């Protein structure tokens, strides 16, 4: 650790804002993979199941999580998916081999079921179309099926399927990870860019109001990273609104310091993609600015995953059901801080996935559901980090990491709700051994603030997890001792290896 002050300092000023908090930053992801859909959100016969077969206990946790958006149905799954298999009478729906995850897809949950569930739990849907094994016409037809009120072949089919009102889906992904050699129907950037442009144009001919997401690189380590984005945008810039990013993080080789600094990598990744998108804009002399859709991100211990080709053919296999620790929760909370810090350019973000498959929620067939450790920083951030993200430049100590060099011990972001006057400070202490004193200095804010509460995810055992037997082993805990001084400065102590939420208000 380099020489530095004993504590950290954060100055906030409402005149220096990043941008508004879009509820779509708090998105998640439901893919037909493992037990995310079947025995996850959907399980007819479960004691809590509703008339449509969706689990009520999981739905309650989804609402508590506070997610504003859910991406569906994939993921790698979508590149081999025929959406027509998942509509109409259940008895007529075919059982298909899903080549992505080598499992049996029963198609008992499809477009109408998912969109009905999303309305029930109060989230906006984000649908992906298959540009791997399929193309323009099925994508155009799906928009017609979902969004046209009636009077056309596909919209009338939806009506005959028992859904008289259009679903009015606004957000659409033009395929998934099409740069990846593992993707069914993998394409070059030129092939994909041309197809995405034509598919997007056809989809907008059906509904001009939709928003379209172009596939960026599957991760920042792809050999074509940067050049893929530039070439795909060269063909499709005029037809799209957002460009996607995907990233997963895990602790490798016991290097916890680098793992805790994952947000530094995400920070740089976002900056690189913004630069590439803006270069494409400059080349075209375009007025429109493409924003980013970080529609897959999470902690995922991918080194433990055997790979798709080793999977046994099964109907509902248990795939990548990672059990998350306190340390994982701190990293997830830090990645949320990073996304908020870029709220001016990151318009959409999806924690992947929602239930069982590396999800913040776990469930058992015919059994209980519970919150993973990662559930809590997401839920609290979604609940309280609202309004406007303010520019913040923390000062304080630094930590040396093997992967990212020197990183700040403190990572933080502040949101201000101008209507209520409430401030929310989100902060991570990356030091694994020492608590970190923090001073928050407000400038130019109306009123006198008082601290409402300081909650933290921290534990003497950083490997502690929530399980079926102990579902509340890891929960947010109230931290005492913080105060607002007569000068209006907030002083708190952030526990070692912790994610923190501090709420301030001017209200009585």
**Closest Cα to residue 346, out of 428, 430, 261, 277?**
277
> Which long-range CB contacts under 8 A does 156-165 form with residues at least 24 apart?
157/87, 158/87, 158/112, 161/87, 161/88, 161/112, 162/112, 163/112, 163/116
The pLDDT, as a whole number, for residue 34 is 95
Please state the length of the chain. Answer: 508
Q: What would the CATH number be for the domain defined by 22-384?
A: 3.20.20.80
Strand-pair category, 498-505 with 450-457: antiparallel
Q: Where in the chain is the domain with CATH 2.60.40.1180?
A: 8-15+389-505
Cα-based angle 459, 464, 469 (whole degrees, multiple of 5) = 125
Q: Name the token pair of 345.
A: 């350019």
The pLDDT, as a whole number, for residue 308 is 55
Residue 407: is its pLDDT beyond 50?
yes
Residue 386: CB partners within 8 Å, gap ≥ 6? 21, 415, 417, 424
* Token pair 């740089």 in the structure block, residue: 268
Residue 89: CB partners within 8 Å, gap ≥ 6? none
Q: How many CB atoms lie within 10 A of CB 150?
A: 11
Segment 48-105, tens digit of pLDDT = 999 999 999 999 999 999 999 999 999 999 999 999 999 999 999 999 999 999 899 9
The pLDDT, as a whole number, for residue 399 is 93
Residue 118: is its pLDDT beyond 80?
yes
pTM (predicted TM-score): 0.95
* Token pair 């020197």 in the structure block, residue: 406
Q: What would the CATH number be for the domain defined by 8-15+389-505?
A: 2.60.40.1180
Residue 208: CB partners within 8 Å, gap ≥ 6? none
Is residue 383 very low, low, confident or very high in pLDDT (cuts 50, 70, 90)?
very high
Residue-averaged pLDDT of the chain: 94
Rounded to whole angstroms, how far apart are CA atoms 272 and 266?
Answer: 10
230-to-187, 193, 237, 450 alpha-carbon distances in Å = 15, 10, 10, 48
Segment 20-48, tens digit of pLDDT = 999 999 999 999 999 999 999 999 999 99
Q: Name the token pair of 340.
A: 């908020």
The pLDDT, as a whole number, for residue 380 is 98
Is residue 2 very low, low, confident or very high in pLDDT (cuts 50, 70, 90)?
very low
Residue 284: CB partners within 8 Å, gap ≥ 6? 237, 238
Catalytic residue list: 177, 296
Q: Where in the chain is the domain with CATH 3.20.20.80?
A: 22-384
Residue 5: is its pLDDT beyond 60?
no
The pLDDT, as a whole number, for residue 443 is 85
Proportion of the chain above pLDDT 90, given as a percent? 87
311-to-75, 271, 304 alpha-carbon distances in Å = 17, 36, 13
């Amino acid at each position: 650790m380099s020489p530095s002050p004993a504590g950290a300092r954060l100055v906030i000023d409402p005149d220096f804002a990043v941008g508004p908090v879009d509820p779509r930053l708090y998105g998640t992801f439901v893919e037909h993979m493992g037990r995310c859909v079947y025995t996850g959100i959907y399980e007819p016969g479960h004691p809590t199941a509703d008339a449509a077969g969706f689990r009520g206990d999981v739905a309650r946790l989804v609402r508590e999580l506070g997610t504003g958006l859910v991406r569906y149905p994939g993921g790698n799954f979508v590149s081999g998916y025929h959406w027509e298999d998942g509509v109409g009478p259940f008895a007529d729906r075919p059982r298909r081999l899903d080549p992505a995850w080598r499992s049996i897809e029963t198609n008992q949950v499809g477009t109408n079921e998912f969109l009905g569930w999303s309305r029930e739990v109060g989230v906006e849907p984000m649908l992906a179309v298959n540009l791997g094994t399929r193309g323009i016409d099925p994508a155009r037809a799906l928009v017609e099926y979902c969004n046209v009120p009636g009077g056309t072949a596909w919209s009338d089919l939806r009506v005959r399927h028992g859904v008289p009102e259009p679903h009015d889906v606004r957000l659409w992904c033009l395929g998934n990870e099409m740069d990846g050699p593992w993707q069914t129907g993998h394409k070059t950037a030129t092939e994909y860019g041309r197809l995405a442009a034509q598919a997007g144009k056809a989809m907008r001919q059906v509904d001009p109001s939709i928003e379209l997401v172009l596939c960026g690189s599957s991760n920042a380590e792809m050999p074509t990273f940067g050049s893929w984005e530039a070439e795909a945008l060269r063909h499709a810039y005029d037809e799209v609104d957002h460009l996607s990013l995907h990233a997963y993080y895990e602790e490798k080789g016991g290097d916890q310091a680098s793992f805790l600094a994952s947000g530094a990598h995400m920070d740089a990744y976002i900056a690189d993609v913004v630069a590439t998108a803006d270069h494409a804009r400059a080349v075209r002399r375009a007025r429109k600015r493409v924003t980013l859709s970080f529609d897959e991100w999470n902690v995922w211990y991918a080194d433990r995953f055997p790979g798709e080709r080793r999977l046994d053919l099964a109907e509902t296999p248990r795939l990548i059901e990672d059990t998350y620790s306190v340390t994982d929760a701190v990293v997830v909370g830090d990645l949320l801080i990073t996304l908020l810090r870029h709220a001016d350019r990151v318009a959409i973000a999806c924690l992947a996935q929602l239930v069982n498959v590396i999800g913040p929620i776990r469930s058992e067939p015919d059994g209980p559901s519970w919150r993973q450790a990662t559930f809590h920083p997401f839920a609290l951030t979604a609940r309280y980090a609202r309004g406007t993200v303010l520019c913040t430049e923390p000062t304080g100590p630094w930590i040396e990491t093997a992967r990212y060099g020197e990183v700040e011990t403190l990572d933080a972001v502040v949101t201000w709700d101008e209507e209520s006057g409430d401030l929310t400070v989100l902060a991570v202490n990356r030091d694994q051994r020492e608590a970190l004193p923090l001073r928050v200095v407000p400038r130019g804010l109306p009123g006198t603030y008082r601290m409402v509460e300081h909650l933290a995810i921290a534990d003497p055992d950083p490997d502690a997890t929530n399980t079926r037997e102990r579902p509340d082993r890891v929960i947010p805990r109230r931290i005492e001792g913080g105060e607002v001084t007569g000068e209006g400065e907030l002083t708190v102590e952030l526990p070692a290896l912790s994610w923190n939420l501090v709420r301030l208000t001017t209200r009585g």
